[in-house]
Amino acid sequence: MTAPFDLTDDTVVVVIGTGAGGGVLANELAQKGISVVALEAGGRYLPEDYVNDEWESFGQLAWLDPRSTSGDWRVAKDFSGLPAWIVKAVGGTTTHWAGASLRFQDHEWKAASTYGNVQGANLLDWPIDPREMDDYYTKAENKLGVTRTGGREGLPGNNNYRVFEKGAKALGYEQVHTGRMAINSAETDGRAACQQTGFCFQGCKWGAKWSSAYTDIPAGEATGNLEVRENAHVARILHDDTGKVTGVEYFDKDGALQMQKARVVCVAGNSYESPRMLLNSASSMFPDGLANSSGQVGRNYMRHMTGSVYAVFDQPVKMWRGTTMAGIIQDESRHDPSRGFVGGYELETLALGLPFMAAFLDPGGWGREFTSALDSYENMAGMWIVGEDMPQETNRITLNTQTKDQYGLPVVNVHFDDHPNDVAMRNHAYKQGVAVYDAVGATRVFPTPPYPSTHNLGTNRMSENPRDGVVNKWGQTHDIANLFISDGSQFTTGAAENPTLTIVALAIRQADHLATEMSAGNL
């Protein structure tokens, strides 16, 4: 029962993007009886379409439109045209995500106050009190079915976890478990329990992992209040001469330019596309792009401090079997400047298949040092490092006017330099990760550089003061009352935790706020 709305219907809320932010927001609004048109650049893929094959899946789901890179991060050298590993499909990157669902720690909402002055970092406190988020986090955990919350059982540990856990315990780590995962440990609401298939990153064939593609989106459509338009690539957001946004221009599946009128526009296209849309919407009234009076649109791009540690043992591990990321060490996530950096990091189990291991273990590497590692692939264990990186004004998304996409629109350039705090934290994490595996008898270890980013944050950040950021505490842009940001680009700081749970909690919260404001006639 998909609701069809007229292009000229100016009572609808237009949501751009259908991932963790947009997909959840669209459903939450539809459940409240609000009419929503969701514009999704990608097509619709469901569990029966996903494939247990890394490169084939990548071709099916990944956002492969051109982008460019600059800065000293290694991704700019190794994957210069592919700064991010994110998804272009209904459900966005919730098809690809691992499912790790962690709440921010209280102090991470107040990074500037907690960490003090960090040279070169553009730190700011979120304009949100941690206690405001408690109920929304609970709602998000229940929506996603997060294990180890709400009475839900944890997932069983796979081979990769068992190696990781044994090493962690040997080192004296205490907060070690199979994670808080948005992956069913028991069948729930018609979705299967995890079958330990692996390939979490390629879309869950069982639907055991939460993705908005087969949960929130169909639930919203079932209300009759939500229309999802697939293969609808947004070009720009339009406004009237009072400075209110009035609609969205997009290219439909045939490449024809369409315009959907709107009462409110919510942008949730990930931290690259969201600022890109604002910048590509520049007009004589807003020559620097929409909602950019602060000059902060595109700035403070964060990608989490990441890296991996793989290790080879003298006997098989078969790390690819089972849930990809059901394993975590949380002891290092605390803020403890005595380690030589502010903020903290998580260590989480991770496995890649042979094809992606060849691509990511040591990008550009060759010869026997490289191939002898792959010869031991069956005996490998792996973990991922994810920690808080420092927002920097110069780490930013800009329009690359030299390169156009298939619609003739300037693509983004992604500039990123590691902050010294990021480097110090990564080196600490490498050391600890290596120690975990050494404690289980690793014969060889590989501190592996960051992959193309999946956690893309900042670029339309939330601030108390309109001079410091793009949106207020509700994700409403400081400059334009009926223009909202609804994805991870509104993050003020990144925290150490995987961001999806917080994106979902903020979307639920934003839906409540929008409904209140709309019924009060303020929007």
Partner 1 sequence: MAKAIHSMIRVVDEARSVEFYDKAFGLKVADRLDFTNFTLVYLSNAESSFELELTVNKGQTEAYELGNGYGHLAVSVDDLAAEHARFETEGLAPRKLVEFAPDGTLIARFFFVTDPDGYEIEVLERADRIQRTIREEVMNKTKSPKGLSRRQLLSRATAAGASFVVGAGFIAAPNGAWAVETSTLKPDTFATLVQMARDIYPHDKVGDEYYVMAVKGYDTAEAAEGIEAGIAALNAAAQGQGFDSYIGASWERDRVDILRGMEDSAFFQQIRGGLVTGLYNQKAVWPIFGYEGSSYEFGGYIERGFNDINWL
Q: Which residues bind partner 1 (CB under 8 A)?
A: 51-53, 55, 156-159, 161-163, 166, 194-199, 205-206, 315-318, 320-322, 353-355, 358-359, 364, 366-368, 370-371, 374-375, 377-378, 440
> Between the CA of residue 159 and those of 301, 307, 312, 384, what are the distances in Å?
36, 21, 13, 16
Q: Three-state SS for 477?
A: strand
Positive or negative, the CA dihedral 114, 137, 519, 241 is positive
Using the minimum distance from each CB to partner 1, give the nearer residue, 114 or 159. Answer: 159
- How far apart CA 253 and CA 467 sit, in angstroms, is 39
CB of 189 to partner 1, least distance (A): 20
Q: β-pairing, 13-16 with 264-267?
A: parallel
CB of 206 to partner 1, least distance (A): 8
Helix H segments across 376-448? Answer: 420-438
Using the minimum distance from each CB to partner 1, give the nearer residue, 242 or 366. Answer: 366
Using the minimum distance from each CB to partner 1, give the nearer residue, 79 or 109. Answer: 79
Bridge-partner residues for 236, per DSSP? Answer: 249
Using the minimum distance from each CB to partner 1, give the nearer residue, 195 or 522. Answer: 195
Cα 207 vs. chain centroid, distance in angstroms?
19
CB of 241 to partner 1, least distance (A): 51
Q: How many CB atoms lie within 10 A of CB 169?
A: 15
Using the minimum distance from each CB to partner 1, give the nearer residue, 83 or 157. Answer: 157
> Between the CA of residue 221 and those of 29, 57, 164, 213, 377, what are the distances in Å?
11, 26, 42, 11, 44
Using the minimum distance from each CB to partner 1, give the nearer residue, 377 or 474. Answer: 377
CB of 158 to partner 1, least distance (A): 5
CB of 494 to partner 1, least distance (A): 30
Residue (of 35, 18, 20) closest to 223 by Cα position:
35
Tokens 């315990």, located at residue: 169
Using the minimum distance from each CB to partner 1, give the nearer residue, 176 or 235. Answer: 176
CB of 166 to partner 1, least distance (A): 5
Using the minimum distance from each CB to partner 1, give the nearer residue, 405 or 438. Answer: 438
> Between the CA of residue 240 and those of 13, 200, 283, 363, 480, what are the distances in Å?
17, 44, 11, 48, 11
Maximum C-alpha span of the chain: 70
CB of 52 to partner 1, least distance (A): 4
Two tokens, residue 150: 């709400």
Strands (E), 388-472: 396-404, 410-415, 444-448
CB of 254 to partner 1, least distance (A): 28
Using the minimum distance from each CB to partner 1, give the nearer residue, 16 or 328. Answer: 328
Cα 449 vs. chain centroid, distance in angstroms?
19
Two tokens, residue 218: 């169909």
CB of 182 to partner 1, least distance (A): 18
